[in-house]
Structure 1
Amino acid sequence: MRRVPLGILGSGKGSNCRAILESISTSGLAAEVRVVISDVFDAPILDIAREFLIPNAYLPPGGFRTRLEPQAEVDLVRMLRDARVELVALAGFMRVLKAPMLNAFPRRIINIHPSLLPKFPGLEAWQQAREAGEKVTGCTVHYVDEKIDHGDIIAQREVPILP
C-alpha cells in the first residue's frame, strides 16, 4: 500500500501529532511523516518528532500574531517541498495560512479543529461550546481554504461535554 508523504505543522504540545505518528506505527495509517514544523521554538511537538526520529524544524514566524510573515510562508512552502510532502496536516497550528501555502498545496492541507464545524470556528472552541450551553461537541477534520475553519469537511466525531 502506498504511504502518503505527510508534513505536520503545529504550535503546541503535539497531542494530535503523536496520535498520527502512533496510528502510523500501530494501526497501519497509510502515511509517512516526512517533516514536523513548528512556529514556536520550544514547542513540545518538536520533541515528539525527535522521539519518533522524524526530521523537524522551527520556522521563525515573524512579527504577526495570527499569520506568518510573507517570507516565512514562502520558506514554509520550500521546506515542505524539499521534504517532498504531498499532504499537510495542521495539528494545532495557530497561524492562518495565505496564498503561498494554499496555492502550493491546493486541497492538500487539512486541519484538525476542536469543534463540530460550522459551530465554534476560531480560537477557544471548547470554551465557546461550554458558554453556549452545548451538551455535545467534538472535532472536525476539514480541508483548508482561504477562510478560517471553513473548508469542506472530511470527518467529524462527537464527544459529550461533561460537567
Structure 2
Amino acid sequence: MKRIVIFASGSGTNAENLIKFFHNRDNASVIQVITNNPHAKVLERCKNLKISALSFNRIAFYKTNDVLNILKASKPDLIVLAGFLWKFPENILNAFPNKVINIHPALLPKYGGKGMYGMYVHEAVVANNEIETGITIHYVNENYDEGATIFQAKCEVLPTDSVEDVAAKIHKLEMEHFPKVVEKLLLKNV
C-alpha cells in the first residue's frame, strides 16, 4: 500500500478530495495531513475524516529537522502539496527526491512564483484578458512553481467571466484531475 502525506495551508478542499478518493482503496491511502497554519480549516476536515493531522511552525520547518523527522517516520511514497503556501526546504527535497508534487491554479509558467496563489492568480488571469487558464501539477524544487510539469488541464476564460467564475472552473479541474494524477504517479512507481 502506497502512503501519501499531504501539506496544506488553508481550507483543505483538495486535501479532502484526495482523502476521499483514496479511502478504502487497496493501492494507496492518505496517512497524514500536515499544515503550517494551526487555524487552517483542513485540520477540522481531517478530524471529521479521521485522518491524522498536525501543525508546525517556521522554526520546525526551516531551522530544525523536526518536520523532516516526522516525514521520515511516516515513510511516504509521495508528498502532495495541496494549497501549501511556503517554499519547501532543501533538506526535505533532498530526502525525498522526485517524491514531492504540487498543484498550481494556472498553466505554468504563467502566473507562478512567490505570492501567486488562489484568488491572486485568478485576478491576474482576468486582468490580463486571458482566453484560457487551467491547472498544473508539477514536481517541487527549490524555487516556487519551477519544478518539472507532470500534468496540465485547461479551461476557457470567457470575456464575461468574473474572478469567481474562473476560480470555480479551476476548482472543478482540481477536483476532477488531481486524485487521478496522484494515483497514476504512485502506480507508475510500483
Question: Shorter-chain TM-score: what band?
Answer: 0.7 to 0.9
Equivalent residue for 2:88?
97
Q: Flag structure 2 segments of 5+ consecutive residues without an equivalent.
A: 162-190
Write the distance in 2 (CA, Å) between the matches of 1:70 and 1:139: 32
| Bigger fraction of residues in helix | 2
Q: How does 1:9-158 map to 2 (within 5 A)?
A: 9-25=7-23, 28=25, 30-62=27-59, 68-71=61-64, 74-122=65-113, 123=116, 124-158=120-154
Give TM-score, length-normalised by structure 2: 0.75
- What SS does the corresponding residue of 2:92 show, helix, strand or coil? helix
Write the distance in 2 (CA, Å) between the matches of 1:55 and 1:130: 38
Give TM-score, length-normalised by structure 1: 0.86
- What SS does the corresponding residue of 2:58 show, helix, strand or coil? coil
Identity of aligned residues (%): 31
Matched letter for residue 126 of structure 1: H
User: Retained in 1: the 8 A contact 2:23–2:29?
Assistant: no
**How far did residue 30 of structure 1 move?**
3.8
Write the distance in 2 (CA, Å) between the matches of 1:29 and 1:76: 27
Going from structure 1 to structure 2, the CA distance change for 1:21 and 1:83 (only over 3 Å counts) comes to: same
Write the distance in 1 (CA, Å) between the matches of 2:111 and 2:105: 9
